[in-house]
Amino acid sequence: MSATRPAFELRTSPARAWRGIDVLAIATHACAALLALAVVLPSLAAESAPLRMNQLQYIGSHNSYHAGIAPSEAVLWKRTDPELFAKIDYSHPPLTRQFDDGVRQIELDIYADAKGGRYAHPAIAEQVAKAGLPADPPFADAQVMRRPGFKVMHIQDLDQRSTCQPLVACLREVRAWSQAHPRHLPLFVLLETEETPLQLAFPTVQPEPFDTRALDALDAEIRSVFARHDYIAPDDVRGKFATLNAAIRAQGWPTLDSARGKIVFLLDQRHVGPAYLQGHPSLRDRVLFTNAAPGGDDAAFTELNDGPAEDIARLVRQGYLVRTRTDADLKEPLRNDGTRRDAMLASGAQLLSTDYPDGEAAAHGYVVGFPGHRRARCNPQFAGLRCSEADLAP
């Protein structure tokens, strides 16, 4: 009996067998598959990585405390400086209402008042009387204004009406809302330090300077209202890195989940940064993030209020938290012109400040918000990012 034939028998040489196969086609398909993976894998990684707080965009209100101009004050403003009056003739509801409507970044203009009483008698009240106009309601509780502590107002002596006064009262309102909504998206509190004197035909108050001593007092006031676990400080972001800038460029900001229920305090005026940094390199043991020039040791947050959008987009992609303004001086709302607003939305700036946030549309219809009245949206500058409805609330 002959031996059993094998199931497979090579009848041709290996060289002849390969002649029928298009090797170039195989190589081409393999390269295409590898290229496809190179495109898909980063996207999959972006989708699987936890969202970070700087990968969303949030709506902010400009001069969030501004209660508007009283009737007789308005008459006086229109007589003496109608152009400036046209820029400040707006108001916002209380902070609590703004948070309920979806605002997640507020701005408070603050004045140092170490001894108290500096801003207790605004000059405009006397000017209203001299003009023979009816007296307006008191702009604030007189006892509150006589006590030491930072005050909240737009322009000393001229535009002092605020929905919360003094600063600690505003901060308590923020904390109360935060505690009532413990899983809220991070709230950003921008503090603008005001110290510019006025040059008018009648006497006005000389503001106190924001030197290191005043800024130490500012940290102390914030800490008197908020416990350390209530807010995200520069130390939390820096972590093991030598500088804050190195941390946000390499590691990034905290995850969105870890930032929920937290407050982030931001210092608006760049020129006070050096005084705030004195004795606190890279913001060690400080409460606020400075509005820093990109690249500096303390640079994590920066402002480009007027763009351009291309510069904002570049900084956002580098890891910076950027605040900009979607409108200014009531010009865009008056024309219902959304050109600037839309450009800033597309820029990826995380903090989008407006005089007309969702719920406070201008008379001509201008408003800044996200589709479906969402509290935030996925940042367009981060490719492959996916945000669920749960990520964008509350």
Q: Which pLDDT tens digit goes with each residue over 308-343?
A: 999 999 999 999 999 999 999 999 999 999 999 999
In angstroms, the CA 219 to CA 301 distance is 18
Is 23 contained in some domain?
Answer: no
In angstroms, the CA 37 to CA 34 distance is 5
CATH number for the domain that contains residue 264: 3.20.20
In angstroms, the CA 360 to CA 337 distance is 16
Is 203 contained in some domain?
Answer: yes
Instruction: Name the β-bridge partners of 264.
Output: 188, 232
Is 26 contained in some domain?
Answer: no
Query: What domain range includes position 285?
Result: 53-391
Beta-carbon count within 10 A of 118 CB: 19
What pLDDT does 47 receive? 56
Q: Residue type for 129, please?
A: A
Residues 305-309 have a mean pLDDT of: 97
CB 119 within 8 A of CB 140: no
What pLDDT does 159 receive? 97
Q: How confident is the model at residue 2 (pLDDT cuts 50, 70, 90)?
A: very low
**Which of the two residues, 44 and 252, has the higher pLDDT score?**
252
Closest C-alpha among 73, 266, 216 to residue 154:
73
What pLDDT does 112 receive? 98
Residues 42-46 have a mean pLDDT of: 48
Is pTM beyond 0.85? Reply is: yes
Q: Residue type for 344, please?
A: M
Is 29 contained in some domain?
Answer: no
Closest C-alpha among 315, 311, 318, 322 to residue 352:
322
Is 243 contained in some domain?
Answer: yes
Domains identified in the chain, total number: 1
Q: What's the token pair of residue 191? A: 């503090």
In angstroms, the CA 331 to CA 35 distance is 49
What pLDDT does 207 receive? 98
Q: How confident is the model at residue 19 (pLDDT cuts 50, 70, 90)?
A: very low
CB 323 within 8 A of CB 303: yes
Is 39 contained in some domain?
Answer: no
* pLDDT tens column, 353-374: 999 999 999 999 999 999 999 9
Is 28 contained in some domain?
Answer: no
Is 386 contained in some domain?
Answer: yes
* pLDDT tens column, 203-259: 999 999 999 999 999 999 999 999 999 999 999 999 999 999 999 999 999 999 999
Cα-to-chain-centroid distance, residue 330: 20
What pLDDT does 12 receive? 45
What pLDDT does 305 receive? 98
Q: Residue 13: is its pLDDT beyond 60? A: no
* pLDDT tens column, 130-151: 999 999 999 999 999 999 999 9
What pLDDT does 41 receive? 40
Give the whole-number percent of the chain exceeding pLDDT 70: 88
* pLDDT tens column, 169-187: 999 999 999 999 999 999 9
Q: How confident is the model at residue 24 (pLDDT cuts 50, 70, 90)?
A: low
Q: Residue 30: is its pLDDT beyond 80? A: no
Give the whole-number percent of the chain exceeding pLDDT 90: 87
> 238: burial class by Cβ within 10 Å (0-12, 13-18, 19+)?
buried
- Kindly report the average pLDDT of the chain as a whole number: 91
